[in-house]
Structure 1
Amino acid sequence: MDEKSINQRKETYTKRIVTDTILLITGSICILFLSIVTDLAHIFTGTTCPLDEWTMGEILITITLVMMASLMFAYRRYYDTRDAIKEFNSINAIKEEFIANLRHELKTPLVPIRGYSEILYDGSLGEINQKQKEALKKMINSSEKLERLIDSLIFISVAKSGDVEYTFTTLNINDIATGAIVDIADQLNQRKQEVDVDIRPRLSYLEGDRKYLKEALIQILENASKFSPNGQNIQLITHEGYKSLHIKVIDKGIGIPEEELENIFERFYQVDGSKTRRYGGNGLGLHIAKTIVEAHKGDIWIESEPELGTTVHIRLPTPDHGIKK
């Protein structure tokens, strides 16, 4: 049984338990009400009941039987739900073990591929010509992309279950931006692009996880670079927001149609299959960025016009008003 089926079972059983509980409460109230009516009738009129005695008995017996049946069903459904939760927890444990093993198994062969490629590229194992060097550089870049893709898929899986561990410290956004730009330097160089950074010193501090905030910027900058013409620079600017730091990444690329903007942060979402294949990509970058930003209690949104470019806005709390560790 998969996780979706178990979740559906849990939801169904929970609704049934709530229904049974409502029936029990309603039945109790009816019995109490009828008992009060009977007692009041006896006190004020001297009669045993305003209704026929046999009819009252039938009503009380029926309500009691309904309550007993509801109680039995509620008891059984409680155990069904408990068993479903056990199955769910078991599947979660298996999934986590599978993800850990998958990451290890996928990354293990990448280590020697990338390592030996870098050694060959550096000339440590002998002199190589320019064409061989270019081929090795492509191998290194491809192994880095594959490693990033593996990390992205695993991050999405772990983030969905809420198991990502963030370490919040006071950070300098300039350091984060510099690290992100260095990590995509090869892509920028291949496309003859640069990132023009405008970060004012007094607007440079925020509270967050260094590793994941850098990853969010990498994903956004990679997109900006990929969908911009060769030789077209990208801008990274910070502004002061209300109790927050406002970061903008601006490109002059192909842009995004307005009707696509509401779906742009969905997992694996691609605006145009033909264009995406031409530019490459897997539709994960912006979803990962959004997940990380929201985990920092921030906001992310996009303004774009086709053929004119795109601006990605990120708003993160400042240390004085932000996340409490």
Structure 2
Amino acid sequence: MKKRSLWLITGLMTVALLGVFVMQLYYIRQAYNLNSQLFEQDVNQALNAVVTKVQKRNAALHISRKDRQMELERKAEVQDQAKQLVEYKDRFKEEAQKRVLERQRLIVADLNQTDLEIRKSYANPILISEDEFRAASDLGNPNKSPVHVDVNVGLDAFGNVVAGQIKSTFVQERPKLFNVAQTKLPDSIHYLAVDPGTGKNVLISVRTVSAELERKFILEDNLAKRKYDEGLKRLMSDTIPMKPGADILLQDVAKEMRDANVPLSKMIAKDVLDTLIKKELLNRNITLKYDFWVGLAQKDSLVYRKAANTTGELLPKNTYKATLFNSVIRDPGMLYLYFPNKNSLIFANLSVTMASSAGLLLVLIFIFAYTIYTILRQKKISEMKTDFINNMTHEFKTPVATIMIASEALKDPEIVADKSRISRLAGIIYDENVRLGNHIERVLSIARLEKKELKLEHKEVNIHDLITAVVDSMNLQLQKKNARVTLNLEALQPVILGDELHLSNVFYNLVDNANKYSSENPKITITTRNTDKALHIEIADEGIGMTKEHSKRIFDQFYRVPTGNLHDVKGFGLGLNYVQDIIEQMNGSIKVQSEKDKGTTFEINLPLNHNHSK
């Protein structure tokens, strides 16, 4: 398959896989949205049912209490009526007394102001009683007047008046002070003073209550009387019992107004609300953990909350709300319901859909990956088989060409006459036939191993003796490259059950590779030792080595480590695959450790099981 075709197939399969993935995501998202809508519908229905039950329960409680409340209210109204009337009259009397005291304060303040003005205008003003005022006013009886006049005149030597002083003295019957009784005030206040202009005594009379204050007091009395009558009338009208056939709307409005200041926490208990919510959710097969709280609708205020662990924003995600009461005057209140694990329920409902989608997607990914892997593997195997055929053709052509040349030489009369040359040519033909047969046998052995048709013998084999024999048989081949083989045969139990022929081929392949893949003067070390129930064999060299990428594939059939355009090392790429198959059929294991330009080590473990069935 061409590289361009491979990339085209890969691209088309990738597009198809992405398309399936996108479609699966789209359907899962649609299913999630549908389940979310159904969940929200169920929750909203549950909230509406809870609100309806709360309102009906509140109304039923109100109706059941209505008759008793009305009876109690009627009794209380009768008692309150008498009490309010008494309190109202007592309150009116108290206000009247306060007005009297306030009037006296105003009168005294006004008299004090008048007294101050008189003292500024007249000399030596004296506050006198009503009797004294009348006596001082009686000019026809000076002997009874309390005013005495003293005249002092100064004369000179000629009898002329040069100085004089007239002094008027008011003689009170008893000392008097300016005092106004708190219970009763006189109509007038009287003064006796000296006129600064004439020096004569004058009598001054002042009204206790001025005309302005008198008008003010009359207006206050009239206003107080009117307020008293109106309040008494209103109080009497408020206590009239309500007739049985009163307007229902008026009662509802009155109730709503009475409940305007009742807290929401008093109108519905938290435990009762929790029970109603749980029951409605269970009726709709919702068993999720939830939190709820009640708040005011017209402002951000919390009334109560079920759980105190709800933090974050005021309305977190997955929160639903409904109005608690149908009220115009008071705050109707809001019921909030929060589900912290809403997504878990929705995804649980989608578990079958998501599992099937994920399974289908994984199957498609596996098929896609396996298809690409198979295509690449087949492409690589095709390339390796092509190399194998080329190598096999080259390996077969060499002995065939040699045999053909030797056969043609035998037809030459001169060569036929020389027996030594005939013998040498016959030996060449025999050796090339053996070489050609070995190649054929190796390919056939691999084919039999793949089909499990190769039957191995199981008899006791001394690995030390076998390794020594293989190294001896390869002596000439090793000497050509000046190879040095070091044997560290330290295993105490070197005898295993196995096939001696195939094991010798295994060691031959490994030693031959160590010799071929060393640049010059190969150094090969073979070590044996015993481990737990196994014989451990290491064949190490200091050759060219290989990278980790090549070492992972070294046991693949037809695989050969690429060496560029150089073909100095011949082979089919079947040797190490043959080695692995033989070792595994003997219940052993083989692995390789290699580093570029530092050498390679093959490690073989064969079981020490002498009771193994043949």
Same fold, judged at TM 0.5 (above): yes
Match of 2:612 in 1: 323
Match of 1:126 in 2: 420
Partner of 2:580, secondary structure, is: helix
Quick one: which amino acid aligns to residue 311 of structure 1? T
**Structure number with bigger Rg:** 2
What's the % identity of the aligned pairs? 27
Match of 2:552 in 1: 262
Post-superposition offset of 1:136: 10
Partner of 1:206, secondary structure, is: strand
Tell me how many residue pairs correspond in the alignment.
204
Post-superposition offset of 1:293: 0.3
Post-superposition offset of 1:250: 0.4
Corresponding residue to 2:567 among 260, 268, 277: 277
Partner of 1:229, secondary structure, is: coil
CA contact (8 A) 1:270 1:276 kept: no
CA contact (8 A) 2:533 2:607 kept: yes
Q: TM-score, normalised by structure 2?
A: 0.30
Change (3 A) 1:220 1:172: same
CA contact (8 A) 1:183 1:218 kept: no
CA contact (8 A) 2:491 2:530 kept: no
Partner of 1:203, secondary structure, is: coil
Match of 1:162 in 2: 452
In the TM superposition, what are the counterparts of 1:223-262 in structure 2 within 5 Å?
223-262=513-552
Post-superposition offset of 1:286: 0.6
Output the CA distance in 1 between the equivalents of 2:510 and 2:431: 19
Change (3 A) 1:269 1:210: same
Output the CA distance in 1 between the equivalents of 2:465 and 2:565: 33
Match of 1:34 in 2: none
**C-alpha distance after superposition, 1:52-91 (max 9, x if no partner):** xxxxxxxxxxxxxxxxxxxxxxxxxxxxxxxxxxxxxxxx
Corresponding residue to 2:590 among 300, 304, 308: 300
Quick one: which amino acid aligns to residue 459 of structure 2? T
Post-superposition offset of 1:304: 0.2
CA contact (8 A) 2:524 2:540 kept: yes
Change (3 A) 1:146 1:196: farther
Do structure 1's residue 202 and structure 2's residue 492 form an aligned pair? Answer: yes
Post-superposition offset of 1:200: 2.5
Partner of 1:228, secondary structure, is: coil
Quick one: which amino acid aligns to residue 147 of structure 1? G
Match of 1:70 in 2: none
CA contact (8 A) 1:173 1:206 kept: yes
Output the CA distance in 2 between the equivalents of 1:187 and 1:143: 19
Output the CA distance in 2 between the equivalents of 1:258 and 1:138: 42
**C-alpha distance after superposition, 1:287-317 (max 9, x if no partner):** 1110110110000010000000000011000
| Structure richer in helix, relative to its length | 1
Output the CA distance in 1 between the equivalents of 2:581 and 2:554: 13
Output the CA distance in 1 between the equivalents of 2:431 and 2:513: 17
Change (3 A) 1:187 1:140: farther
Give the number of the structure with larger relative contact order, counting CA–CA contacts within 8 Å between residues 6 or more apart. 1
Post-superposition offset of 1:248: 0.4
Of 194-203 and 239-248, deviating more is 194-203
Post-superposition offset of 1:191: 1.1
CA contact (8 A) 1:224 1:234 kept: yes
Post-superposition offset of 1:229: 2.7
CA contact (8 A) 2:528 2:536 kept: yes
Change (3 A) 1:158 1:228: same
Do structure 1's residue 174 and structure 2's residue 468 form an aligned pair? Answer: no
Q: TM-score, normalised by structure 1?
A: 0.55
4+ residue segments displaced more than 4 Å: 135-145
Output the CA distance in 1 between the equivalents of 2:477 and 2:421: 26
Match of 1:215 in 2: 505
Post-superposition offset of 1:278: 2.5
Match of 2:442 in 1: 152
Post-superposition offset of 1:185: 2.6
RMSD across aligned positions (CA): 3.3
What residue ranges of structure 2 are gaps of 5+ in the alignment?
1-395, 408-417
What residue ranges of structure 1 are gaps of 5+ in the alignment?
1-105, 118-123
CA contact (8 A) 1:203 1:238 kept: no
Change (3 A) 1:170 1:143: same
Output the CA distance in 2 between the equivalents of 1:275 and 1:177: 34
**C-alpha distance after superposition, 1:12-63 (max 9, x if no partner):** xxxxxxxxxxxxxxxxxxxxxxxxxxxxxxxxxxxxxxxxxxxxxxxxxxxx
Match of 2:474 in 1: 184
Output the CA distance in 1 between the equivalents of 2:541 and 2:426: 30
Output the CA distance in 2 between the equivalents of 1:287 and 1:298: 14
Post-superposition offset of 1:193: 1.1
Partner of 1:157, secondary structure, is: helix
**C-alpha distance after superposition, 1:226-254 (max 9, x if no partner):** 00133222111102122100000000000
Quick one: which amino acid aligns to residue 126 of structure 1? S
**C-alpha distance after superposition, 1:187-226 (max 9, x if no partner):** 2121111321121262321110111111111111111110
**C-alpha distance after superposition, 1:131-153 (max 9, x if no partner):** xx9x9999887655433322210
